[in-house]
Amino acid sequence: MTIESERFYERLAAFHDFEQFTDLGAYAAVPDAWVVMAGDVAGSTRAIAAGGYKTVNMVGAACITAVLNACRGVDVPFVFGGDGGFVIVPGRYAARSAAALEGLQAHAEEAFGLGLRAAAIPVSRLRREGYDVRVRKLMLNRRTALAMFSGGGLERADAILKSGGSDDPDVIQVRSGAEPPDLDGLSCRWEPLMATRGSMMALIVLPTGQANPEVVLKDVLLHLDGALNGDLRARAPANDRSLRFRFPPRGLKIEQRALALTKGVVKAWIAPNLTALAQKACHFFNIRIGDYDGPKYFEEVKAQTDFRKFDDYLRVVLDCSDEEIERLRNMLEAERKAGRLVYGIHVDRSALMTCLVFRLGEGDHIHFIDAAGGGFAKAAEGLKAQLAGRQ
């Protein structure tokens, strides 16, 4: 693999307005030699029913963190799905990325009480099977990008991950004794984001039928604007009123269990508590301690979330009133009956935020958003039921 191929995503032209994601012809083909690293929480339905969706989110984000740390030095695209995630890596990084997922898989039960499915699926295989992996890069600000995907390849990768057995060479099998992965950067310190308008809505939409998917997606954006009376950014779950930090953070124990895999229990307890206490001081007094500038970080967090994204499915988490959600549901239901799309909605009173913080002073951090109580996982159940009804 050439250096130019490895730098494919780094050099990819970016766009800046989310609404432009509907231009499916602008997505670039990921090189054949790249590999889709996939992780999915096993037993997430049971964990959700037991009130453990925050831990499910944490393990889903850990899949991404483990691979990103295995690929330091190269820019790679990724997407978070609530109970799992995908990272697409150059072929030269595939073995170390697979080892990181294997290590997480081996220790997920110990650290989080959850199982994990994992796979490393070549892009070339997905293309041989009739699917594609295409990507665009949305700049959230001048430093941080969010990947968007099309082509159906990630959906096929998810099917391989969930149905592939020991006879599929690309499905990673659980191996006892695997080294735990580096999860530095994985963080869980903000309080749940309470809805300021009534509810947090997780919505997934998939164009179907013979309609042009670009047209369907543009119409869905118009429906969202119409139902919510304006710009989706005004409905972002992370805002001035919802972002709250307390000490000790409620989610700190989950973070500590992740860090304990490689740092030991004592270090995993001391360091997060000290840094969380410093964070609380920075936010309370609006000051800076080292690289942590409380007011600056607060503004960056609001800008650097993935509350709107596309991976063949449009996924959004929005702060809405119950009346607005009902209005949107009626619009989408009309589109579903017309055969143009299927959708899933899950509504809760709060949203969850799981963070990847790497180089704080450089603004290198991103924050994954999902509705509480099941979020995208529950919304996906509704969407799949609609698909089954069509079939």
Q: Three-class SS of residue 108?
A: helix
Mean pLDDT lowest among 84-98, 223-237, 239-253, 279-293: 279-293
Q: Which pLDDT score is estimated for 273? A: 66
pLDDT at residue 268, rounded to an integer: 62
DSSP element (H, E) containing 366: strand 364-371
Say if 71 falls within a structural domain: yes
CATH number of the domain at 101, please: 3.30.70
Structural domain of 168:
3-178
pLDDT-derived band of residue 5, with 50, 70 and 90 as boundaries? confident
Measured CA distances, 76 to 145, 228, 307 (Å): 10, 34, 20
**pLDDT tens-digit series, residues 365-389:** 899 999 999 999 999 999 999 998 8
State the average pLDDT over residues 17-45.
Answer: 95
> Is 49 within the bounds of a domain?
yes
Classify residue 343: in a domain, yes or no: no
Do the domain assignments include residue 128? yes
pLDDT for the residue 143? 82
Give domain status of residue 77, yes or no.
Answer: yes
Residue 63 domain flag: yes
Handedness of CA 60, 63, 66, 70 (dihedral sign): negative
Q: What is the mean pLDDT of residues 145-162?
A: 95
Number of domains in the chain: 1
Taking only the tens place, the pLDDT of each residue in 275-289 is 767 777 766 777 777
In one letter, which amino acid is 231?
A: D
What percentage of the chain reaches a pLDDT higher than 90? 63
Q: What residues have CB less than 8 Å from 167, skipping those under 6 apart?
A: none
How confident is the model at residue 272, as a pLDDT?
Answer: 66
In-domain check, residue 356: no
Going through the chain in order, the beta strands assigned E by DSSP cover 14-15, 28-29, 35-42, 78-80, 84-89, 115-122, 134-139, 145-150, 171-172, 186-187, 193-194, 199-207, 288-289, 292-293, 308-310, 314-320, 341-348, 350-359, 364-371
Can you tell me the mean pLDDT for 7-16? 95
Residue 149 domain flag: yes
pLDDT of residue 361: 66
What are the C-alpha distances in Å from 327 to residues 225, 331, 334?
11, 6, 11
Between 258 and 64, the more confident residue is: 64
